[in-house]
């Protein structure tokens, strides 16, 4: 067993020029270095070779899709996939001794990196009221205690069940079934913080919340937009798909506030030309946009397309498509022509010529795909921006045909599947009716609490029980200090987790750690070895089979913990066969077949190599909106108000982290090493504010007369758009006000925080 470090790392910041290409050999070497540091050679080999293979382990990293079964490489994973797998497969262990040694008060001051480095959790632990230590507890007592707390509530709505997209379909289905049979829709999830804006906008305009494209579509598109996403770091195998598209003649337009390495050039480590050659240029056009300017950009492009149609009627817009499949074109057309060019140019920071170049690329392309991620969704105008992207695609009939469509690029490996399984605080009545018919109980109909509203309810003392599954709520949520206070108001906080994180150290009066199997591990139940299923960003549902020996013999699977908890809490109040579900996950899938449209005969169909592709009605030419057509919309925006002397800060991921968990202090592609306490500022702003490289500053966010502070960051001059700054999440979540949310979706605006930089000497800039 490897020994974890006992001290926090003490490195110095060094800065080198940002990289201009992604992946290639250094990426592979780097992944192996990380693997071998964390695990043994044998465990590394076993896990890596089975990642993303038919009958193997689904990568627990991002939700990017796998090539079809006949087209997979022997190494069908990226550098970061290898890191995520090995972070779970580590041979380091946390035992009861660890918790005897470290009081919770000390653990709560440790860094996220250090907590994660301590290794896998191995046995259930409890922190009792008035104690500062976790101590061991049996599974029977731990689950019984949580069940008793739930049963003692005055209302089921005093409980909250948070989950991340790391859990399987089976665990997600069981979780939501339990919550609803118990009587609440309080099912906040990481999607509330991630692609909620996409779901809202797509539902409203297309009648379905999911992306419409497949990998094949990406390969055969003529033009692909990458808007507000960093594929080199966050979806590295997307670069292989983009490479393929380029070899087939596609053009790519990247829109970002940062010139990310993966947007510029890709060296594919699986191909000789990627190892020794210059690789493939990714973006043909790079638009260095101002933060939040994407809505204005697409409005500008749309207006130019309408004017091009005026000049050459019948040649630009797909009039037949618009007539047959859409509604609201006339209003949209009128509105689009009223938007002032000056406003578009100010909001985007681009020149008119750059936007005209986009129009020209579009006019040359029959099949267009727009991909986007957090740069778009985590904005005040995230929902209208995506609606405008839909307007853009509808104008030329770029939906419901091969090589075209919408591609919200999902984060967690099963975040889309969790929603399909009913993990959402606002599931429609059709789903709740199906649950009722299948299981014979009446699910609650009132919408539950999402992530932001859960924090508000906890703060007000309205939540007594918090159960977190597979995430790190305290660090993922905005306004860290407020969120931590809110958690401490709960009577009991419990977490089903694989590794130690900050949420375990910010406790209710009582706290439970319920350690669980990871996706890489063999899961044996009463009827034998089990597998689970997940759904990727392209609506493909397939199986994942754990291969490794569990980190401890004591671990239970997520499904087992949830089924036992449900059984003990509901005391036979429903006829749901929790024991059968735990013994044989196939019986859960049978019931999913009856509840979730598109998954009929789930067990039989998922056994096929490649699994099941869920139908998307848009690809059948069906738009299940209230009017039965895709909707054009008129979208208004206001410029974010950034007072003089302030910047718009985005909080983002480094190359070496998985969400709330940094793996190291480095961000290789951006040339930052040895520290995450950095703020990236454009050279223009560095000189405008009289700052210098390496200067220490506090970041102070201002919001409705209140201030929040993140202390002691070093300034790094970086080619971000002037007026915009960037710093890492979760260290800067303390700056993100709980009330600063996207319109309609209530998603925190993690890419748009108004800040000023205050030199540590105390003089404000």
Ligand X SMILES: Nc1nc2c(c(=O)[nH]1)N[C@H]1C(S)=C(S)[C@@H](COP(=O)(O)OP(=O)(O)OC[C@H]3O[C@@H](n4cnc5c(=O)[nH]c(N)nc54)[C@H](O)[C@@H]3O)O[C@H]1N2
Binding site for ligand X (CB under 6 A): 61-62, 80, 164, 166, 190, 193-194, 227-230, 233-234, 255-258, 260, 289, 291-292, 294, 373-375, 378-379, 411-412, 469-473, 476, 496-499, 501, 516, 518-519, 558, 650-653, 657-661, 729, 733, 736, 750-751
Task: Give me 429's structure tokens.
Answer: 């009545």
Pairing of strands 223-227, 532-535: unpaired
Region from 188-196, 230-238, 265-273, 455-463 binding ligand SF4, contact rule CB under 6 A: 230-238
The answer to whether residues 173 and 469 touch, using CB atoms and an 8 Å cutoff, is: no
- CA 733 – CA 735 distance, rounded (Å): 5
The answer to whether residues 225 and 420 touch, using CB atoms and an 8 Å cutoff, is: no
Q: Which residue lies nearer to ligand X by CB, 62 or 383?
A: 62
Pairing of strands 368-372, 405-408: parallel
Shortest approach of ligand X to residue 476 CB, angstroms?
Answer: 3
**Which residue, 615, 185, 173, 168, is CA-closest to 438?**
173
Q: Give the number of residues in contact with ligand SF4, rule: CB under 6 A.
A: 11
Please report whether residue 578 would count as binding ligand SF4 according to CB under 6 A. no
Residue 497 contact, options ligand SF4, ligand X, Mo ion, none, Cβ 5-8 Å cut-off depending on partner type: ligand X
- CA 1 – CA 94 distance, rounded (Å): 11
Shortest approach of ligand X to residue 619 CB, angstroms?
Answer: 24
Shortest approach of ligand SF4 to residue 236 CB, angstroms?
Answer: 5
- Ranked by CB distance to Mo ion, the top (closest) residue is 411
Shortest approach of ligand SF4 to residue 341 CB, angstroms?
Answer: 39
Residue 81 contact, options ligand SF4, ligand X, Mo ion, none, Cβ 5-8 Å cut-off depending on partner type: ligand SF4
**Which residue, 583, 600, 611, 606, is CA-closest to 174?**
583
Residues with Cβ < 8 Å from 741, sequence gap 6 or more? Answer: 380, 452, 747, 748, 749
- CA 536 – CA 542 distance, rounded (Å): 8
* Helical (H) or strand (E) element with 498: none
Please report whether residue 382 would count as binding Mo ion according to CB under 5 A. no
**Which residue, 563, 521, 569, 525, is CA-closest to 546?**
521
Q: Which residue lies nearer to Mo ion by CB, 169 or 299?
A: 169
Q: Which residue lies nearer to ligand X by CB, 333 or 521?
A: 521
675 alpha carbon, distance to own chain's centre = 24
Q: Which residue lies nearer to ligand X by CB, 231 or 279?
A: 231
Region from 77-85, 186-194, 427-435, 629-637 binding Mo ion, contact rule CB under 5 A: 186-194
CA terminus-to-terminus distance, the chain: 50
Shortest approach of ligand X to residue 520 CB, angstroms?
Answer: 9
Shortest approach of ligand X to residue 54 CB, angstroms?
Answer: 21
Shortest approach of ligand X to residue 84 CB, angstroms?
Answer: 7
Q: Which residue lies nearer to Mo ion by CB, 236 or 411?
A: 411
Please report whether residue 236 would count as binding ligand SF4 according to CB under 6 A. yes
Among 93, 127, 166, 237, binds ligand SF4 (CB under 6 A): 237
Task: Give me 293's structure tokens.
Answer: 């300017």
Please report whether residue 592 would count as binding ligand SF4 according to CB under 6 A. no
Interhelix angle for 169-182 vs 585-595, to 10°?
70
Residue 78 contact, options Mo ion, ligand SF4, ligand X, none, Cβ 5-8 Å cut-off depending on partner type: ligand SF4
Shortest approach of ligand SF4 to residue 235 CB, angstroms?
Answer: 5
Q: Which residue lies nearer to ligand SF4 by CB, 59 or 458?
A: 59
The answer to whether residues 118 and 27 touch, using CB atoms and an 8 Å cutoff, is: no
**Count of C-beta atoms within a 10 Å radius of residue 9:** 13
Residue 257 contact, options Mo ion, ligand X, ligand SF4, none, Cβ 5-8 Å cut-off depending on partner type: ligand X
Please state, in angstroms and as integers, the Cα–Cα distance from residue 616 to each residue in 212, 467, 508, 573, 613, following that order. Answer: 6, 33, 42, 37, 9
Among 194, 370, 389, 563, binds Mo ion (CB under 5 A): 194
- CA 534 – CA 420 distance, rounded (Å): 10
Shortest approach of Mo ion to residue 393 CB, angstroms?
Answer: 23
Q: Which residue lies nearer to Mo ion by CB, 52 or 377?
A: 377
Shortest approach of ligand SF4 to residue 230 CB, angstroms?
Answer: 12
Residue 77 contact, options ligand SF4, Mo ion, ligand X, none, Cβ 5-8 Å cut-off depending on partner type: ligand SF4
Residue 745 contact, options ligand SF4, Mo ion, ligand X, none, Cβ 5-8 Å cut-off depending on partner type: none
Q: Give the number of residues in contact with Mo ion, rule: CB under 5 A.
A: 2
DSSP class of residue 199? H
**Which residue, 728, 656, 568, 661, is CA-closest to 164?**
661
**Which residue, 497, 611, 593, 597, is CA-closest to 544?**
611
Q: Which residue lies nearer to Mo ion by CB, 411 or 662?
A: 411
Residues with Cβ < 8 Å from 140, sequence gap 6 or more? Answer: none
Residue with tokens 């506090």, as numbered in its chain: 698
Q: Which residue lies nearer to ligand SF4 by CB, 75 or 131?
A: 75
- CA 254 – CA 229 distance, rounded (Å): 9
Please report whether residue 262 would count as binding ligand SF4 according to CB under 6 A. no
Q: Which residues between 53 and 82 bind ligand SF4 (CB under 6 A)? A: 59, 61-62, 64, 77-78, 80-81
The contact pattern for Mo ion, residues 411-440, with x = CB under 5 A and - = no contact, is x-----------------------------
The answer to whether residues 215 and 538 touch, using CB atoms and an 8 Å cutoff, is: yes
Please state, in angstroms and as integers, the Cα–Cα distance from residue 684 to each residue in 238, 247, 266, following that order. Answer: 33, 37, 29
Shortest approach of ligand SF4 to residue 149 CB, angstroms?
Answer: 37
Pairing of strands 647-652, 706-717: unpaired
Interaction site with ligand SF4 (CB under 6 A) = 59, 61-62, 64, 77-78, 80-81, 235-237
Q: Binding residues for Mo ion, per CB under 5 A? A: 194, 411
């Amino acid at each position: 067993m490897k020994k974890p470090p006992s001290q926090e790392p003490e490195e110095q910041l060094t800065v080198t020029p940002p990289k201009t290409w992604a992946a290639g050999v250094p990426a592979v070497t780097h992944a192996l270095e990380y693997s071998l540091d964390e695990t043994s050679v044998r465990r590394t080999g076993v896990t890596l070779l089975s990642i993303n293979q038919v009958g193997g382990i689904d990568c627990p990293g991002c939700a990017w899709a796998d090539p079809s079964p006949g087209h997979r490489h022997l190494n069908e994973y990226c550098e970061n996939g290898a890191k995520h797998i090995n972070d779970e497969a580590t041979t380091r262990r946390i035992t009861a001794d660890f918790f005897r040694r470290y009081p919770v008060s000390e653990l709560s001051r440790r860094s996220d990196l250090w907590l994660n480095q301590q290794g896998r959790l191995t046995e259930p632990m409890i922190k009792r009221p008035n104690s500062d230590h976790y101590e061991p507890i049996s599974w029977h007592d731990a689950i019984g205690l949580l069940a008793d707390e739930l049963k003692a509530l005055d209302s089921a709505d005093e409980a909250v069940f948070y989950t991340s997209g790391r859990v399987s379909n089976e665990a997600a289905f069981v979780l939501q079934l339990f919550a609803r049979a118990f009587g609440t829709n309080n099912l906040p999830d990481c999607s509330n913080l991630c692609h909620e804006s996409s779901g809202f906008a797509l539902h409203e305009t297309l009648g379905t919340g999911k992306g419409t494209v497949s990998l094949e579509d990406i390969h055969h598109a003529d033009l692909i937009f990458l808007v507000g996403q960093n594929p080199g770091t966050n979806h590295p195998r997307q670069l292989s798909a983009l490479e393929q598209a380029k070899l087939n003649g596609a053009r790519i337009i990247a829109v970002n506030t940062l010139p990310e390495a993966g947007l510029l050039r890709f060296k594919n480590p699986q191909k000789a030309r990627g190892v020794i050659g210059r690789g493939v240029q990714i973006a043909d056009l790079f638009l260095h946009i101002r933060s939040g300017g994407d809505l204005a950009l697409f409005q500008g492009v749309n207006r130019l397309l309408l004017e091009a149609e005026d000049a050459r009627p019948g040649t630009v817009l797909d009039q037949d498509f618009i007539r047959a499949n859409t509604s609201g074109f006339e209003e949209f057309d009128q509105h689009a022509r009223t938007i002032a060019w000056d406003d578009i140019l100010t909001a985007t920071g681009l020149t008119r010529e750059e936007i005209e170049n986009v129009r020209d690329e579009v006019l040359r392309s029959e099949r267009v795909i727009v991909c986007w991620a957090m740069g778009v969704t985590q904005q005040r105008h995230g929902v209208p921006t995506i609606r405008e992207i839909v307007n853009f695609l509808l104008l030329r009939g770029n939906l419901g045909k091969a090589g075209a469509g919408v591609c919200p690029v999902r984060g967690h490996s099963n975040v889309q599947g969790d929603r399909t399984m009913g993990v959402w605080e606002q599931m429609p009545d059709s789903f709740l009716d199906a649950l009722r018919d299948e299981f014979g109980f009446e699910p609650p109909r009132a919408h539950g609490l999402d992530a932001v509203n859960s924090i508000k309810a906890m703060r007000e003392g309205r939540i007594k029980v918090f159960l977190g599954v597979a995430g790190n709520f305290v660090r993922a949520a905005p306004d860290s200090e407020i969120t931590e206070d809110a958690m401490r108001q709960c009577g009991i906080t419990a977490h089903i987790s694989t590794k130690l994180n900050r949420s375990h150290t910010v406790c209710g009066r009582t706290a439970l750690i319920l350690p669980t199997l990871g996706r890489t591990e063999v899961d044996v139940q009463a009827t034998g070895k089990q597998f689970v299923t997940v759904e990727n960003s392209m609506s493909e549902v397939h199986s994942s089979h754990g291969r490794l020996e569990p980190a401890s013999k004591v671990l239970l699977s997520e499904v087992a913990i949830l089924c036992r908890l449900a059984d003990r809490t509901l005391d036979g109040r429903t006829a749901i066969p929790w024991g059968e579900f735990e013994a044989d996950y196939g019986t859960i899938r049978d019931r999913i077949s009856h509840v979730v449209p598109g998954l009929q005969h789930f067990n039989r169909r998922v056994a096929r190599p490649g699994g099941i592709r869920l139908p998307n009605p848009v690809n059948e030419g069906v738009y299940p909106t209230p009017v039965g057509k895709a909707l054009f919309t008129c979208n208004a925006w206001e410029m974010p108000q950034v007072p003089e002397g302030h910047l718009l800060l985005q909080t983002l991921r480094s190359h070496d982290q998985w969400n709330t968990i940094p793996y190291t202090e480095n961000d290789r592609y951006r040339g930052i090493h040895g520290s995450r306490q950095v703020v990236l500022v454009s050279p223009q702003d560095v000189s405008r504010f009289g700052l210098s490289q390496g200067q220490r500053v506090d970041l102070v966010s201002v919001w409705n007369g209140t201030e929040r502070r993140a202390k002691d960051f070093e300034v790094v001059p970086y080619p971000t758009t002037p007026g915009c700054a960037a710093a890492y999440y979760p260290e800067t979540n303390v700056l993100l006000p709980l009330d600063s949310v996207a319109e309609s979706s209530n998603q925190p605006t993690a890419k748009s925080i108004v800040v000023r930089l205050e030199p540590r000497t105390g003089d404000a800039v």
